[in-house]
Chain A
Amino acid sequence: MSRPAPSAPAPATAGNSPAKRPTSGLVGARLPKWAPYGAAVVGWGIAVGLKLLLGWTGWYTTFFTGAVLFIAVLTAWSFSVEGRRRAKDRFASTLIYTSFVCAIVPLVLILGYIAVKGLPLFSPDFFLKSMIGVTSREEGGGIYAALVGTLIIVGIATVIALPIGIFTAIYLVEYGRGKFARTVTFFVDVMTGVPSIVAGLFVYTFLLLGFGMRPFGAAGAIALAILMVPVSVRASEEMLKLVPRDLREASYALGVPKWRTILKVVLPTAMSGLITASLLAVARVAGETAPLILLVGYTSRINYNPFDGDMATLPMMVWDQLGKRAGTTSSDLTEARAWGAALTLVLLVLILNVGARLIAKLFQPKAR
């Protein structure tokens, strides 16, 4: 921190440095290139010193104190050398980068931890076997039933929700005017914030209690569809709005009716965006647990029929294997299986996201 900055402009200090370059009005004093790293070392160094001195337990406090100190040190240093404007710039950009790191670290830790805990479980058997007859003290068993259940239930939810979502978005963008459209938008916004357990409770009350039914897969799918519709509407709406008005007008001017313009011009142009929007909506509900507790239940046997009987799903399997569902005993073995199921769920969502991007690329209008 004591190192003099190259080409300090202040006339008072100009006499001090012998090898002074002629100062130009355009050249300002700058901190050396390594300044951020230096400030980081100093900041976290002080934090570690404080930890040892004050006997803080754990590293979280130290980490965040270091981050705050890093910003403070760099800004103060910059202010003393570079002046006010650059100091503000340093402060803002450092704050942004530090926030980014603070956001990404827990994410990486979670994903890394799940991968480390779950990967050893992965084997062909793990994917191809169900949990039927496997006790908590036995090895073996797998996620087959849960994976099939998740795919079936999310699949049904998708089939219900996407058409509703996309058609609502088309209505809002192409036809919706005035009070009714505003009401629809308002309720879509409200529905985006509905907690998943509330959607579950709604279906539970009307379907299971109302008709006196036992839990079954499709009931869960309906609740997931309720959660999916607003996400799909919102995302699809944005994508349709991106289609330039020019293109619609060009089509109208050719004497094409509105519905054919939407079908043949608007939808193909927005196709890549709509696919992304849809797959992200699917990913959004794939890991939902709360409605499934009420509506689908859990079973260790393989059930392909979503209209009859409990079904296993990945989130419910995690819950079950941790011994929380039926109050059964858990062991290292069941805990490991829970991590394996969790990793599969994460990978499923990851595949959906990556797949969305790839398909979107494929459908993008090309320039040549």
Chain B
Amino acid sequence: MAKRIDVDDVNVYYGDFMAVEGASINIAPLSVTALIGPSGCGKSTFIRILNRMHEVIPEGRVSGKVMLDGEDLYGPGVDPVNVRRTVGMVFQKANPFPTMSIYDNVVAGYKIAGTRKNKSETDDIVERSLRGVNLWEEVKQRLTRPGAGLSGGQQQRLCIARAIAVEPSVLLMDEPCSALDPISTLAIEDLISELKATYTIVIVTHNMQQAARVSDRTAFFNLAGVGQPGRLVEYDDTTKIFSNPNEKATEDYISGRFG
């Protein structure tokens, strides 16, 4: 079910401001791709164009082509709602719905969208999704409790469970561990390696060790200066990027000699 993503010469704008310029990238199915780079370089913007979430921000727009298994995400008549059903997303800050129980949070994708499912179906989805993020054993006794009562790491795994419950083909993660302690981070990283068997994963991270640990391919974004658009500097196998990058800027960044 996992799909490949091909981005061809994409520019992203917020109003008159160009946030990302001329980015092209090919992402293989069932792989983990890490996006690294300094703050403001457009990583988060770039990941958002993969499921049209940048359109949620006022005046966000895109030129160029983003293909999902050969289908243009920005083609005429494409419904962003359907795009987001196929390409799921996990955010930096764990954001379970405060009015819902753990159970309802997991099946929120169906519940809010109004898709009718009977009880045994949703029970299955909840158990499968929570087992998928290694949270089932921890919460199976308190599924009816509010999701906001969990710890930060558990909340983030709950959010991942919510994202995979709707069975997307691609999973986008925007700095999923930046608010978590090392142990919860490890749990999420292990989870990413497991989820790789089922989904194409793109992850934004500020933590270069994390990129080196979890990803197959790494893309380095950089920006020439404040107010300038971010650019994709280098995109290659993770081992190559971290051992012998082609660009000097990449080497400076990963070795901490940046700027």
Contact of A247 among B53, B82, B97, B166 (CB under 8 A): B97
Decide if B111 is an interface residue (CB 8 Å cutoff).
Answer: yes
Asked whether, in the complex, the Cβ of A250 is within 8 Å of the Cβ of B95, the reply is yes
Q: Is the Cβ of B89 less than 8 Å from the Cβ of A253?
A: yes
Contact A250 B146 (CB under 8 A): no
On chain A, the residues within 8 Å of B183 by CB distance are: none
Q: When the two chains form the complex, which single residue of B58, B98, B108 contacts A254, counting CB atoms closer than 8 Å? A: B108
Q: Does B85 contact A (CB under 8 A)?
A: yes
In the complex the two chains form, is B56's CB within 8 Å of A264's CB? no
| Given A254-B163, A255-B84, A256-B81, residue A366 in contact with residue B146 (CB < 8 A) | yes
Measured CA separation A249–B83 after assembly (Å): 14
Interface size class of A (residues with CB under 8 A): 20 to 34
A365 touching B148, Cβ below 8 Å: yes
Contact with A along B54-92 (1 / 0, CB 8 A): 001010000000000000000000000111111011010
A260 at the binding interface (Cβ < 8 Å): yes
Question: In the complex, which residues of chain A have a beta carbon less than 8 angstroms from the beta carbon of B84?
Answer: 252-255
B51 pairs with A260, CB closer than 8 A: no
In the complex, chain A residues whose CB is within 8 Å of the CB of B98 = 247, 269, 365
Interface string of A73-86 (1 = CB under 8 A from B): 00000000000000
- Please give, as numbers and ranges, the residues of chain B lying within 8 Å of A253 by CB-CB distance: 51, 53, 84, 88-89, 91, 163
- Interface residue? B206 (CB, 8 A): no
- Confirm or deny: A368 has a beta carbon within 8 angstroms of a beta carbon on chain B: yes
Q: With A and B bound together, what is the CA distance between A143 and B228 in angstroms?
A: 72
Which residue in chain A gives the minimum CB-CB distance to B94? A246
Q: Does A367 contact B (CB under 8 A)?
A: yes
Q: Bound state CA distance, A269 and B53, in angstroms?
A: 22
Of B56, B86, B163, B166, which one neighbours A248 at CB under 8 angstroms? Answer: B56
Q: A256-B81, A257-B81 are in contact. Are A365 and B58 (CB under 8 A)?
A: no
Whether the pair A251, B51 counts as a contact (CB closer than 8 A) is: no
Answer yes or no: B145 CB below 8 A from chain A CBs: yes
Is B166 touching A255 in the complex (CB atoms < 8 A)?
A: yes
Question: A106 near B: Cβ within 8 Å?
Answer: no
Chain A interface helix/strand/loop/mixed: helix
Central interface residue in A248, A256, A365, A368, by most chain B CB within 10 Å:
A256
Contact indicator A249/B91 (Cβ below 8 Å): yes
The A-contacting residues of B in range 89-142, CB under 8 angstroms, are 89, 91, 93, 95, 97-99, 108-109, 111-114
Please tell me if A244 contacts chain B, counting CB pairs below 8 Å: yes
The reply on B149 being an interface residue by CB < 8 A is yes
CB-CB under 8 A from A251, the residues of chain B are 97, 108, 112
Taking a contact as CB atoms under 8 Å apart, the answer to whether A368 and B56 are in contact is no
Question: Which of under 10, 10 to 19, 20 to 34, or 35 or more describes the interface residues of B?
Answer: 20 to 34
CB within 8 Å of B: which of A233-259? 244, 246-257
What A residues does B149 contact at CB under 8 A?
366-368
Chain A nearest CB, measured from B78 CB (Å): 13
Partner of A265, one of B81, B112, B146: B112
Q: Does A261 contact B (CB under 8 A)?
A: yes
Contacts of A368 in B (CB 8 A): 145-146, 148-149
In the complex the two chains form, is A246's CB within 8 Å of B93's CB? yes
Cα distance, A244 to B166, chains bound together (Å): 23
| A269 x B93 contact (CB < 8 A) | no
A268 on interface, CB distance cutoff 8 Å: yes
Indicate if the CB atoms of B99 and A269 lie closer than 8 Å. Answer: yes
Residues of B within 8 A of A252 (CB): 53, 56, 84
Interface pair B97/A260, CB less than 8 Å apart: no
Q: Which of A145-199 contact B (CB under 8 A)?
A: 177
Bound CA–CA A365/B149 (angstroms): 11
A250 touches B159 (CB 8 A): yes
**In the complex, chain A residues 109-123 whose Cβ is within 8 Å of any chain B Cβ:** none
Minimal beta-carbon separation of A160 from chain B (angstroms): 28
Least CB distance, B27 to chain A, in whole angstroms: 18
Closest chain A residue to B112 by CB distance? A264
Q: A251-B108, A264-B111 are in contact. Are A367 and B148 (CB under 8 A)?
A: yes
Complex formed: what's the CA distance from A285 to B166 in Å? 47
B99 and A365 within 8 A (CB) = yes
- Inter-chain pairs besides A247-B98, A255-B166, A256-B112, 15 sampled, C-beta below 8 Å: A248-B56, A250-B95, A251-B108, A254-B88, A254-B108, A254-B109, A254-B163, A255-B109, A255-B113, A256-B113, A264-B111, A265-B97, A365-B148, A367-B149, A368-B145
Contact sample, A vs B, 30 pairs, CB 8 Å cutoff: A246-B91, A247-B97, A247-B98, A248-B56, A249-B95, A250-B91, A250-B95, A251-B112, A252-B56, A252-B84, A253-B51, A253-B53, A253-B88, A253-B91, A254-B88, A254-B108, A255-B109, A256-B81, A256-B109, A256-B112, A260-B114, A264-B112, A268-B99, A269-B97, A365-B99, A365-B146, A366-B146, A367-B148, A368-B146, A368-B149
Lowest 9 CB-CB distances: which A-B pairs, in order?
Answer: A255-B85, A368-B149, A365-B98, A253-B89, A254-B109, A246-B95, A264-B112, A255-B84, A268-B99
